[in-house]
Amino acid sequence: MFNASEPPDLFSRFAGYTAASDLMKAGLYPYFLPLAGQEGATVRRSGRELIMCGSNNYLGLTADPRVHAAARGALERYGSSSTGSRFLNGNTDLHEELEAELADFLGKPAAVVLSTGYQANLGALAGLLTARDYAVVDRDAHASLVDGVRLSGAKLRRFPHNDAEGLRRTLEQLPDDAARLVIVDGVYSMEGDICDLPALTAVCAQYGARILVDDAHGLGVLAGGRGTAAHFGLTDQVDLITVTFSKSLASLGGAVAGSEEAVHYLKHKARSLMFSASMTPASTAAALTALRILRAEPHLTTAVRAKADRVRRGLAEAGVGTGDSTTPIIPVPVPDAQGTLAIWERLIRAGVYVNPVLPPAATPRLRTSYMATHTHDQLDRVVEVLGAEPELRRAAERVASSASAA
Ligand SMILES: Cc1ncc(COP(=O)(O)O)c(C=O)c1O
């Protein structure tokens, strides 16, 4: 039927969105900061050097000359782009070598690489799940996992963070005849805590659920770099492991590892693999070389954890909170969302780069993270700068007193 009234103009919402421009006007906009160069542990911005405590470059391999040489070599041999999907024209022997070596390292029979970690999660979840299935997802799981479930059309259920009893209650409520996949992070990207895999896999086994672990932040960090499943000796109990190359492996790309059968299926069902150009040759060679360095030099993984322990100790002595972190990701509690950006801005001026986190991403905090290649002097300076913020000490006191009241 003819409708005389005008439909609303979608673009009218642009003018109404002022949250970001308000921060820009206040000089407190913390996003899209252009960096003029980076050496791993330090970055350059507006002519100044900052200590980088906001990256996921856990092993510092983005600055490794061997990784650079491999990327350059691949660029010269294969060109600058794969120019298409692996399915058709964008597959190279490099992609397949990376898959074979990664699967072997993770202790899984097979792996498939995709162009980002985000696409690996979308591909694994939307490739596997259908609208008839249930996806039971940790409340703090990464956004890409939730997006993958949404894309699949599966029914989404959340369970309380890292809570095996909560998972049990959620699984108990599902219809007996419904297939179910439990979805967790290995190391949580905002908290830096490790998934309670022994308890969670036991519940999965009891309730006939498969489990996928996104080990973006466990790869390169736990168990000589093999990640969370290996850390607990539970690789056989984890059905699918997804990883990204954009953190410890100093590149761009991601992968899903599992049984031969699972990987074969996903290679023909994951639309984010089939309908997107493959990792560039340079990215593939960089990830492959970083993986080989990680295997040959597992001391890098102990170094990054030792560096983070030093910071955790230093911050505790300075009265600054570190959440439940036991990994290179250390969340520092802040008083409130409003104060977060002012503190962040002072830290940048003092030469320390951290990530301010605001709702809805998570409760307000400064997300700090550390590298094997940070020097002790750099780390001690970071502790000094954070410790000089009275509001961070007050926030830690508040967290401690509410924990003791609970
Ligand atoms: C837990 C987790 N999974 C997946 C991703 C996505 O990885 P990528 O940056 O390679 O797309 C990230 C990155 O932020 C992550 O933290």
**Site residues for ligand 1, CB cut-off 6 Å:** 116-118, 121, 142, 144, 185, 189, 214, 216-217, 244, 246, 254
- For residue range 266-316, list pLDDT tens digits in order: 999 999 999 999 999 999 999 999 999 999 999 999 999 999 999 999 999
CA distances from residue 364 to 316, 340, 406 in whole angstroms, order as listed: 19, 7, 20
Query: At 123, is the pLDDT very low, low, confident or very high (cuts 50, 70, 90)?
Result: very high
Measured in angstroms, how far is the CA atom of residue 285 from the centroid of ligand 1? 20
pLDDT tens digits for range 178-208 = 999 999 999 999 999 999 999 999 999 999 9
Paired strand residues for 159 = 138
Q: Are 224 and 255 in contact (CB under 8 A)?
A: no
Distance CA 405, CA 274 (A): 53
Output the average pLDDT for the chain. 95
What is the structure's pLDDT at 2?
A: 56
Predicted TM-score (pTM) of this structure: 0.96
Residue nearest to atom 15 of ligand 1 (CA): 216
Predicted confidence band of residue 38 (pLDDT cuts 50, 70, 90):
confident
Q: How far apart are CA 37 and CA 405, in angstroms?
A: 47
Residue nearest to atom 16 of ligand 1 (CA): 189
Tell me the CA distances in angstroms from 58 to 32, 74, 132, 375, 402, one per residue in order.
21, 24, 39, 13, 32
Ligand 1 pocket mutation, candidates 125, 184, 189, criterion most atoms within 8 A of CB: 189
Domains, in order of start, for the chain: 19-52+298-405 (3.90.1150.10), 64-296 (3.40.640.10)
State the distance from the centre of ligand 1 to the C-alpha of 301, rounded, in angstroms. Answer: 19
First to last CA, the chain: 60
| Structural contact between residues 371 and 61, judged by C-beta atoms closer than 8 angstroms | no
- Calculate mean pLDDT across residues 225-249: 98
Pocket test of ligand 1: the residue of 57, 115, 137, 144 to mutate, having most ligand atoms within 8 Å of its CB, is 144
Residue that the structure tokens 């104060």 belong to: 339
Alpha-carbon distance of 365 to 287, in angstroms, equals 31
User: So what's the pLDDT on residue 3?
Assistant: 62
In angstroms, what CA-CA distances link 138 with 151, 203, 271, 331, 373? 17, 14, 24, 19, 32
Q: How many CA atoms lie within 13 A of 97 on its CB side?
A: 12
pLDDT at 72 over 70: yes
Alpha helices in 275-363 (DSSP H): 281-296, 299-318, 337-349
Q: Which residues, 6+ apart, have CB-to-CB distance to 206 below 8 Å?
A: 168
Verify cis geometry, omega within 30 degrees of 0, for the bond prior to 8: no
Residue 25 banded pLDDT, cuts 50, 70, 90: very high
Distance 266 CA to ligand 1 centre (A): 19
Residue 336: its pLDDT value, please?
Answer: 87
| Residue among 246, 280, 283, 329 whose CB has most ligand 1 atoms within 8 A, to mutate | 246
